[in-house]
Each structure stands twice: as structure tokens, then as C-alpha cells.
Amino acid sequence: MDASFWLGFINIIIIDVVLSGDNAVVIGMASRKLPPEQRRKAVIYGTMGAIGLRIVLTAMATWVLLIPYLKAIGGIILAWIALKLLLGEGEEASDIKAGPTLFAAIQTIIVADFVMSLDNVLAVGGAAHGDFVLLLFGLGLSIPLLMAGSNAVAALMDRLPVLIYIGAGILSYTAGTMVISEEAVQQHIAPEYYYLDWLFPLLLTSFVLVLGIWWRKRIYPSAF
């Protein structure tokens, strides 16, 4: 194992720690309203399903990169998920039915993690430089990070409901970044509209939060 291996090893740890944060937020938001036992199942099954999709994405990374507007479409889906999670927070706990809610949480986790995993897979793949051992290490490390991080996020959101809005904001900003960083989109905005690189994510985040808060005030006025 030479220096390049250990450099890739360290880079992958940093990448997983940094890029797993957004994924942990969506898992925590999707599972926070479940009873403790079902929350644990949602985190485990959702994370394992998401990791399975990451493996598929990694194996098909070269082909995936050729799909036009893939990141932009993923960003739009993620923005919708952020809004959906935010709107769902107005529901009363007594209205939640365990079975369908558990399935819905797992489904949301897998879909959201799939669209958010493009950057993670590409970054880990680049840091591994074709080393299969490092690639497996990067995928394996993301499992405990996601599980521990999402459980912590869910517990904090139970104590501090305002974090729901922060979480939705993080997911919306990530979605905006995915859309605007799409290569095909960049070809249309650069260099004249370079400021959209930071403005568009902020505008999308504001739109999701304002719409979510307005809708919740309209449907659940007692929550405000």
C-alpha cells in the first residue's frame, strides 16, 4: 500500500463525512414521526436500500454520466421531497398509521438518497482512482455514518421542531446546487449568468420554505 492508497483512504473518509450530512438529514426527517422501533427499521432498511442503489450507481458511473440532465432532474425530485416532508410535519401523530407510514418513510429515504448519491458516488470513485478496495471501503463507511447521523437528526428534530425547517432548507439548497451544477445547464448560463451558481439554490430554498410555511399555516393554523 503506497502513499497514493493512504491519500485516497483519507480523502474518502473526508468525502463520506461531508457528503453524508445531507443524506442523514433526509433520513432523519422521513423517519422522525415513527415510533422508536419502526424508526430503527426505517433507518436500517432505507439505508441498506440506498447503499444497494449506490453500488449500482458506482458500477454504472461512466454510463450514468452520459445521461443528459440527470442531476437536474434529481435536484427537482429532491426539492419536491423536501417540500413534501415539510408539509407532512403538520399532521397530528394520532393520524399516523404505523404500517403505511413505515413503508412511506423507507420509500422516501431510498428515493431521496438515490438522487443525492450522484455526487457521493462520483467523489468516492474519483478518490479511489480505480482501487476496488478503496471503493468498497467508501461505500461501507457511508453505512454507519448514515445510520448514526440520521438517528441523531431525528432525535434532535423531536426536541427542536424548528430544525424541520433547517432540514428542509438544507435539502432544498442541495437540490438547487444539483440543478445548477448540471453540465448542460452550465453551458446555458456561463459565463454571463455566473451569479446563478449561488443565487438559484438560494431562490429555490426560499421558495420551498415560504410555500411550505404558507401551506402549513393554511391547513394547520393551530400549529402556529
Residue 120 clears pLDDT 60, i.e. is over it: yes
Residue predicted with more confidence, 175 or 26: 175
How large is the C-alpha radius of gyration of the chain?
18
pLDDT of residue 224: 54
pLDDT above 80 for 125? no
Higher pLDDT, 180 or 85: 180
Instruction: Summarize pLDDT for 150-173 with one digit per residue, the tens.
Output: 777 777 777 877 888 888 888 888
φ/ψ of residue 129, rounded to 5: 50, 40
- Name the pTM for this structure: 0.68
Q: How confident is the model at residue 100, as a pLDDT?
A: 45
pLDDT above 90 (res 99): no
Which of 104, 113, 100, 101 has its CA nearest to residue 47? Answer: 113
Q: 3-class secondary structure for 75-106?
A: HHHHHHHHHHHHHHCCCCHHHCCHHHHHHHHH
pLDDT at 204 (0 to 100): 95
- Which tens digits make up the pLDDT trace of 184-206? 888 888 677 888 889 999 999 99
Average the pLDDT over 106-128 and give the result: 71
**Residue of 44 and 12 predicted with greater confidence:** 44
| The three grid cell numbers given for residue 167, joined into one nine-digit string | 432540514
Give which of 72, 65, 86 is closest to 223, Cα–Cα.
Answer: 86
Instruction: Please give the residue that has the higher pLDDT: either 204 or 25.
Output: 204
Contact 143, 117 (CB under 8 A): no
Cα separation, 210 vs 224, whole angstroms: 14
Locus of grid cell 411550505: 212
- Residue 52's pLDDT is what? 79
Name the residue among 155, 176, 138, 207 with its Cα closest to residue 27.
155
Q: What is the pLDDT of residue 72?
A: 85
Q: What is the pLDDT of residue 208?
A: 93
Convert the pLDDT of each residue in 140-156 to its tens digit.
777 777 777 777 777 77
Tell me: pLDDT of 96 over 50: no
Q: What pLDDT is recorded for position 133?
A: 76
